[in-house]
């Protein structure tokens, strides 16, 4: 039995970023996963790279190997801890059930990617990795960032939820009295880490928060 998987979350995780607003969530999650000594298989769409350059001060190199080196230095990861794959790298571990990590997170998840996953499209490696995660009955977390949602978006979310996918909209709460934008980002990222059963100290669980407030 893999006790690490049960008690401390998966050792290997696929992290995909697509072209919705909220690049900060993906970057923060990557940083947290590295800090918790997880191996990250990183995928990013071209649209997500454009959004990231618009919303943050991070501009990723276009080539896969250079991007991997950049993210390794940016997060302080160990050599080989972050593995970056191109959109058509069909020989990568995430493209097959025999090699893919036990969990995958798409954050932010565009509604286009949501649609592709819900309909089984495998036009790029992100969609294929999600399809593999579904068919192998592994953990898949999608973090959409859109407002408002159309009926099409909601139908796709319901379909995926019925398959066991966790839909976690990027909707930060305020009961922890956030003081900065980083606090709002951490709220969503902490929720993702909780679902992965990976330790985090950014946000107390509800009962813990209530007790600490009374003290």
For the chain, what is the total number of helices (H) and then of strands (E)?
9, 6
User: Where is the binding site for FMN, in residues?
Assistant: 19-21, 45, 110-113, 122, 145
Q: Rounded to the nearest 5 degrees, what angle is found at the Cα of 66, between the Cα atoms of 61 and 70?
A: 80
Is residue 108 a contact partner of residue 141, using CB atoms and an 8 Å limit? Answer: no
What's the rounded Cα separation, in Å, for the pair 29 and 46? 19
CA–CA separation, 78 vs 64, rounded Å?
17
Strand order in the sheet with 103-109: 82-84, 39-44, 12-17, 103-109, 139-144, 166-167
- Taking a C-beta distance cutoff of 8 angstroms, is the pair 41, 15 a contact? yes
Residues annotated within a binding site: 19-21, 45, 110-113, 122, 145, 175, 191
Residue positions in the annotated binding site for dimethylallyl phosphate?
Answer: 175, 191
């Amino acid at each position: 039995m893999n006790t690490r998987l049960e008690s401390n979350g998966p050792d290997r995780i696929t992290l995909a970023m697509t072209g919705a607003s909220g690049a900060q969530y993906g970057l923060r999650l990557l940083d947290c996963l590295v800090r918790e000594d997880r191996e990250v298989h990183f995928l990013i769409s071209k649209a997500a790279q454009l959004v990231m350059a618009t919303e943050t001060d991070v501009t990723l190199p276009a080539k896969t190997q250079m991007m991997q080196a950049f993210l390794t230095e940016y997060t302080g990861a160990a050599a080989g801890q972050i593995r970056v794959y191109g959109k058509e790298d069909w020989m990568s571990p995430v493209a097959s059930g025999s090699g893919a990590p036990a969990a995958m997170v798409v954050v932010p998840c565009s509604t286009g990617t949501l649609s592709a996953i819900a309909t089984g499209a495998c036009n790029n490696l992100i969609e294929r990795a999600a399809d593999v995660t579904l068919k192998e009955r592994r953990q898949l977390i999608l973090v959409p960032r859109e407002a408002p949602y159309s009926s099409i978006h909601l139908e796709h979310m319901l379909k995926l939820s019925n398959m066991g996918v966790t839909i976690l909209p990027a909707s930060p709460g305020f009961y922890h009295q956030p003081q900065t934008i980083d606090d709002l980002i951490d709220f969503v990222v902490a929720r993702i880490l909780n679902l992965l059963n990976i330790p985090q100290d950014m946000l107390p669980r509800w009962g813990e928060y209530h007790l600490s407030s009374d003290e």
